[in-house]
Structures are given as C-alpha cells and as structure tokens.
Structure 1
Amino acid sequence: MPTTHQPWPVADFHCDVLCKMMLNSGLDFNHPELDVTGKRLEAGGVKLQTFAIYIPAEAGNPGMDHVARQIQIFQERIAAPKGGLKTLLWREEAERVARSDSREIWGMLSLEGVDGLEGNPFYADLCFALGVRLIGLTWNFANWAADGVLERRNAALTNKGRELVQRCNELGMLLDVSHLSERGFWEVMEQSARPPVASHSNAAAVFPHPRNLNDEQIKALIIRNGRIGLTFVPMFLQEKGSPPMDRLLNHLEHICALGGAEHIMFGSDFDGIQEHVIGLEHPGCYPALTELLLKYYPEELVKRWLFGSAISYLQANLPKKQN
C-alpha cells in the first residue's frame, strides 16, 4: 500500500504558503508553522505544487510590490538551489515532469486575485516574465477586473478585466475561475482561449457553499476539458468543525456522475485555512488520502486524480518555450 512504499506522485494546484512567508519574514520553507514545507512535499509524494500569490488585507493596499515580493520569496527561498524545487514554466517541462520517475519536486506560480496589478492589464506581461502561469481574476469580492463570488451584485468582468483576459490569451497565461462571481465565470469560460481551471472548489450540489461550483459550471468545465481541483477547506465540506476525510468522496462521486472523472485533480488550499480535514493537515498526508481512494476506486483512476489529470492539462495548455 502507499504508506509502506514510495508515495504515489501528486500534483496540488493551490496553496498559500507565500502569503504566510511574506507576512512573517522569519518563516523558512521548513518552519513548523507552515502546512506546506519541503520535507512534507517529499513525504507526501508531491511532484508539483502550485504556489498562489495572494495579498491579504493586513498587507495594506495591494500593489505590484506585494506580487513581486512573493515571487521573490518563491525564487530565493523555495526554488532551487536553496529550497530545492524546480520552477515549472513551459509545456516541455510539464512533459518532463509527467515522464520522470525521479524525486524532483516542481513549483508553479499562480496569482489569486489581480488586485496587485493596480488596474493595469499589461502587468500580466511582467508576471508572466517572472514565472506566473495561472491567474484568477478575483478573490471573493470585487476588484478592478471582476466581481468575486461573495459580491452581492454578481457582476461579470469590467472592460479592463476583459482586456486582461485577452492579454492572458496572447501570453499563454492560464485562467482560474475559483472565486469568480457566477456571471464572471461564464464570461471567462466564453473568452478564454484555453480551458480554464477551478483550482480549489468543490460541488455545490453536495454542500451549498458559495465557493463551490454548481452543476452547470462543473459541466461547462468538463465540456471545455478544464480541470476541477477538489479542495480540503472544511467550510466547503460542512457547516462547521473539522470534517472526516471521506467527506471529500461525496464531491468526487458527484463530479464523476456529471461526467468529470477525467477532469478531477486536487487543490488543497494548505496554509490558506485555519482548520483542516481530519487526516489531511499537510501535504505529507497525501498517502493517507491515496489509501482512502483505493478502497473505492481502481488504481488507474486514483493515479489520474492525484497527478495525471493535472499534469496532462499542463502538457496540453502551457505555452511552448520560445527559442
């Protein structure tokens, strides 16, 4: 079983460790206050971890300096040589990750909300040049580009938000629809040149949290051949407290029933949560999730959900390296 052998490969499409390290400069990448550490990624078999750039309210007015600071933290303290992680930028590298049987760990940068781009769609060019490959337009509320899912007016994209999507299309930047208002979701689905992902969302039909996706949204992502990253946020699984790990299976089953077995991955939201799913407190716990999944599903499906689905998406949709 996975706990007695080398852990199976895992790709995790969302964590918030960069935000924590920005707010507390004393945290290194193996500090016990972090959920995600280099040692835990290795213990859990995580071959690819996406690191979100998120600017919390306590950081002050969001600006490009916050974005640059978190990119710097990733480059200087998490990526090789100090942190040891290789940086995933190009389709050719995704192909290397997919076929490699080595113990290399890769990191990819995402932007969770474009508040820090200061209303300038062309700051996306700078982010792309600095290694960002996935952008979500909003967090939960409105900004200059779009409304978030908790914004009561439920507006779609602004004119500048549409400019940003177009610029992402031109750059090869991937788009993330987690956190978007429903109207914004549908507009991005229509305008994005590449299949979007929902990096960390569950199924609203199973548990009706605003951040979970309704059936029509899930089916739209399936039709576009996008991906849905099931997340370990307790409040997306039950009303209060720490849920058991098997609560995730209801969401997984529901997405499969909608035709999404080929489109499921994981986006833990580690370091973005205060409470945890019981038994899934950090990336080192992925072998326990593997064991749970193997009780109900064949190995081929479990391997796809843990790793194959995410990496095949990147193989198909990341830009090719320009020589």
Structure 2
Amino acid sequence: MNLFDLHCDTLYKAVTQNLPLDDKSMQVSQILDNDSKRLQCYAIWIPDDYSPEKAEEIFYSACKKLSDECERLKIKLIGQNESISKCFKDNKYSALFTIENSTALNGKTENVKKFAKLGVKIITLTWNASNAAGDGADVANPKGITDFGKSVVREMENNGIVVDVSHASDKLFYDVCEIANRPFIATHSNSRSVTNHRRNLTDEQFKIIKERNGIVGINFHRDFLSENPDSASKYDLLKHIDRFLLLGGENTVCIGTDFDGCNLPEDIAGSESLSDIYEMLLKHNYKESVIRKIFYENALNFFENFDNSRIM
C-alpha cells in the first residue's frame, strides 16, 4: 500500500520535545511493508502565540532536525529542484518539508525564496488566528488577505511553493482565489457539508480547488470528522470522501492525516491503521484504481504538473 500524506505535525513534536522522528510515541511510523512506498509531508507547525522572531527560529531548528533525521533514517529528503514523482519512484521513504503558518517568514517576503532553496514545498498561510498574511478560521470578523499576504502568495508561486488554504478563514480563501495564478491546495481539510465546522471546506470551496486543478487532503481529526467527536470513527472518513467524490473530486481527494497534531478517533491509532482504512474502502465498493488515486496518485500528479501550471 503506497501513501502520499500531505500533512503531519510529527516534526514539530520531534523539535519541541527533542525526540527522534521514529520515537515510539509518534503516530507516523517509520515501519513500512516490504512493497510499500511512502512520501510524507513533514510540517513545522507555528502556534499562533509565537512571535515572528521565534517562529523563524523554530523553522531553522526544524530544517536541521529534519535533515539530520532523514540522513539517520535513510529517508530521501526532497530538495528544491528534484522531481517529486521520481523521488517517490526511486525511494521507499521520501519526505517533503512544509510549513504550517506563514508567521515563520517573520514578515520578510525575501524569506520565501530562502525557504524554497531549503526544500520547503508547501506553506499554509495561517493557523487559526490572524497573522501578517491574513486571517485564520477562528477569526470572528476576518478582513482577509493583507498586502504582505498578497506579496507572499506571489513569491510562493514564483519560487515553486504551493499555497495551502487549510486553516484559512472563508474571506482569506476567496481572496486567494482572486490573486492566485497557480493551483492551490488544502492539505488537511474535510467537508463542511458533512461536518459543519469552520475548518472544513464548503462544497463551493472544494469545487473551486478542483476546477483549478488543486488537491484536498482528508483530515483524521475527530472534531472535523463528526458532529459528535467522541463517537467519531474511521467510517466517518467515508462520509467526507463520498461527499467530495460526489462533487467530482476523483482526481482531487488525497490524504492529509494530521498525525501527531490531532485527536484521532479511537479506531485509528496512526500509520498502522492506514491499511485498515484501505481495506475499508475496498469493502465499501471503492474501485482500487480510485483508492490508489486517493492514497498517492492524485498528490503525485499534482506536484508533477505544478511547476508548469498556470490558471488562465
């Protein structure tokens, strides 16, 4: 079973708790079946209460930690100009460096280019509050994207970094729609039609991402999976996937687990549960060709085409 997971917070846990990436407490396991390949996006999460200076500092700490750990564990850390699909094909375990919350830029547009050279491939514009780029999903009266946010989006697109609108307020989402020249994505967001949570995407938002050739990763956080989080289960994943497929998302839906950064349903333990989820989809009459798209092919295809993509 191959996997391309668009989002986890394992790196943040490793940096802040001084743990190895393969610590037994991690929900992202380094153990793979013999015939499996995995490409894991490792996000450095920036909490909203971090100062911009502290955020930039933890970014560089995370950069070194991920580089050192990938060397130790023999994980292929993908660089700026390397083909993601080739790295996936040639390596059992590959990793992409991503950022969750653009506060890591420390208000410096020029940091976008610097971070791209260090291999950053995705930046989530906000976490839940407001930052220098715009407003997150928890902001009561969002003002949308700032002038700095507009310059960041332009620089990201110019330097091959993908804009991630997970955690964005609705206002920020539509502002990104106005200015984006390349496809953008939601690395870990579910369907608001299924679970009415502000962190989830509306049908219209999902369709916009789909129509612009972006992708959306299904989030395993129980609060986003069910209106009754305490009783959430892996079967709630089906409801969100079904909704997105109903909206024409066969080539859009991906996996964005949020492992090590969320409260999982009781029947999902971490990476070791993914094979059970794969089998669950098979038992619910999903074609295996569609499951493969969700688990890794859609994400690979997106990145294969991103560098040459433009929204007309």
Deviations 1:175-232 (A, max 9, x none): 1010111111112123222211100000000010110000110110111010010110
Distance in 1 (alpha carbons) for counterparts of 2:232 and 2:34 = 23
CA distance 1:210–1:43, change in 2 (3 Å): farther
- The code of the aligned residue for 2:154 comes to Q
1:46 Cα shift? 4.9
Which fold has the larger relative contact order, with Cα–Cα distance below 8 Å and residues 6 or more apart in sequence? 1
| Residue in 1 that maps onto 2:300 | 311
Letter in 1 for 2:295: L
One-letter amino acid of the counterpart of residue 240, structure 1 = P
1:56 to 35, 40, 47: 47
Counting only pairs closer than 5 Å after superposition, residues 1-323 of structure 1 correspond to structure 2 as 8-25=1-18, 27-39=19-31, 45-56=36-47, 62-77=54-69, 79-80=70-71, 82-89=72-79, 93-97=83-87, 100=89, 104-238=92-226, 239-273=228-262, 275-295=263-283, 296-318=285-307
**Distance change (3 Å), C-alpha of 1:43 and 1:139:** farther
Equivalent position SS for 1:65: helix
Residue 4 of structure 1 is matched in structure 2 by: none
Give 1:21's aligned amino acid.
Answer: A
Unaligned runs of 5+ in 2: none
Q: CA deviation at 1:65?
A: 1.0
Q: Is the 8 A contact 1:10 1:306 kept in 2?
A: yes
Larger mean Cα displacement after TM superposition, 211-220 or 180-189: 180-189
For the residues of structure 1 that align with 2:38 and 2:137, how far apart are their CA atoms? 31
Q: What runs of 5+ residues in structure 1 fail to find an aligned partner?
A: 1-7
- RMSD in angstroms over aligned alpha carbons? 2.1
Q: Secondary structure at the match of 2:177?
A: helix
Does the CA-based 8 Å contact 2:195-2:224 persist in structure 1? yes
For 2:34 and 2:259, the matched residues in 1 are separated by 15
Q: Shift of residue 311 of structure 1?
A: 0.6
Q: Deviation at 1:88?
A: 2.2
Deviations 1:144-166 (A, max 9, x none): 11100111112211001101111
Task: Tell me the amino acid that sits aligned with residue 132 of structure 1.
Answer: V
Which stretch shows the higher mean deviation, 155-164 or 83-92? 83-92
Using structure 1 for the length normalisation, give the TM-score. Answer: 0.89
| 1:83 counterpart letter in structure 2 | L
**Residue 204 and residue 44 in structure 1: after superposition, are their counterparts in 2 closer, same or farther (change >3 A)?**
farther
Q: Deviations over 1:248-298 (max 9, x none)?
A: 11111111111111110000000001x312332211221111100111211
Letter of the 2:23 partner, please give it.
H
Q: Which runs of at least 4 in structure 1 moved beyond 4 Å after TM superposition?
A: 41-44, 57-61
C-alpha distance in structure 2 between counterparts of 1:110 and 1:92, whole Å? 15
Q: Percent identity?
A: 28
Q: Using the alignment, how far apart are the partners of 2:108 and 2:162 within structure 1?
A: 18
Change (3 A) 1:42 1:242: farther
Q: Distance in 2 between matches of 1:228 and 1:196?
A: 9
Contact 1:150 1:181 in 2 (8 A): yes
Amino acid corresponding to residue 12 of structure 2 in structure 1: C
Contact between 2:189 and 2:201, CA under 8 Å: does it hold in 1? Answer: yes
Give a deviation string over 1:13-63, Cα, whole Å, max 9, x none: 0000111111111x1122112111322x55894510001111236766633
CA distance in 1, matches of 2:48, 2:152: 23
Are 1:173 and 1:318, in contact at CA under 8 Å, matched by a contact in 2?
Answer: no
Structure 1 residues 154 and 65: alpha-carbon distance in aligned structure 2, compared to 1, 3 A threshold: same
**Secondary structure at the residue paired with 1:63?**
helix
Which amino acid counterpart does residue 83 of structure 2 have in structure 1? Answer: E
Query: Is the contact made by 1:12 and 1:49 (CA closer than 8 Å) also made in structure 2?
Result: yes
